[in-house]
Chain A
């Protein structure tokens, strides 16, 4: 048991080193997020009320688009350099690899966005009390996006020619997440019931993820 936990620890040490060396990728994603916010502000005009009215929707849409940018690298590098195989031979099942990678994506891609939310809220004139709700909804929503990203990226390994297909799947399945997440912020009275729906969606995709991603990883390694 201790050796298994050590292996998990070393997996995250590896992910940390990799993400540290590729820090410019994370930074590019964050810059894309903020530049897009500025473009929205300039295109809408100077009315504070309009901006604050649609601000939450803008933040969520851009968070979705920005995190989609990183999906290509979810499994691709590890697949191409044989590290997925190494993980399997190190005793991790395919399903478990997908869970580890999902949390790694959440930690190293989504958490920087989570930390950028307060600045985005200032730029978009979103009321202070709504920031907490946005924060809570994105904490759950981003984990859902990571699970969906895992499924679509593992599917992409079998379909190397069309990366956009995976992104499209994430976008389509993200629609309910955006509806409920934005709903939480605009209907504060229903906070707990809408959060329950989001947590429900998270539990569904979290339980499907290891099964679907694991199968795709297995098939793509078999046919590689």
Chain B
């Protein structure tokens, strides 16, 4: 589905990475590893067409990505290292907004179950401001289920999470791939996720 061919990125005359190749097919999980500043986030952003590469190309369903961008965006969920939840609003408000924005058909009971698993069900009426960073991160990951898209692109999804939540996330990744989804994510941490390909930057 996604093919990255000889991708290189330079910024301010400094090479971030060069000649990266990867191929993400149905049911695959790709992990990006590397030190701080090695360009993991930059690579993820360039796959999303948010950063223009210096050279190389990215294809989506056999066509150049920038010629097929709207269709690509309809199939992809991106979880950045920043959390996009609106801090002034409650957890419930954020969920409602995401459901409306992404035209999600997920049922109320489904969301309640996931919130229970993530131990966020007690915070529904609380403002996001009052949650810890780990809890905000868990809320952010809920967006994967709300958006319900085939391709997940995630920047450090396991950071700031406790062991129990990491296990839930790892299980969710495997379930998603079993349903013909695909995932690219970056991580510093060792993981038990059964990855198809490891890209070292």
Contact = CB atoms under 8 A, between A and B. Distances in A.
A89 B103 contact: no
Interface string A16-42: 011001100000000000000000000
A90 interface: yes
11 contacts: A7-B101, A9-B100, A14-B100, A14-B101, A18-B86, A18-B88, A21-B88, A81-B82, A85-B50, A89-B73, A89-B78
A85 B78 contact: yes
B70 A17 contact: no
Interface SS majority for chain A: helix
Interface in A167-197: none
Interface string B100-118: 1111000000000000000
B80 interface: yes
A30 B178 CA distance: 55
Given A85-B78, A89-B78, A90-B73, 18 more contacts: A7-B101, A9-B100, A10-B101, A13-B97, A14-B97, A14-B101, A17-B89, A17-B97, A21-B88, A81-B84, A82-B80, A83-B86, A85-B80, A86-B78, A88-B50, A89-B48, A89-B73, A221-B50
Interface SS majority for chain B: loop
Contacts, number: 62
Interface of A: 3, 6-7, 9-11, 13-14, 17-18, 21-22, 80-83, 85-86, 88-91, 221-222
Interface of B: 48, 50-52, 70, 73-74, 76, 78, 80, 82-89, 93, 97, 100-103
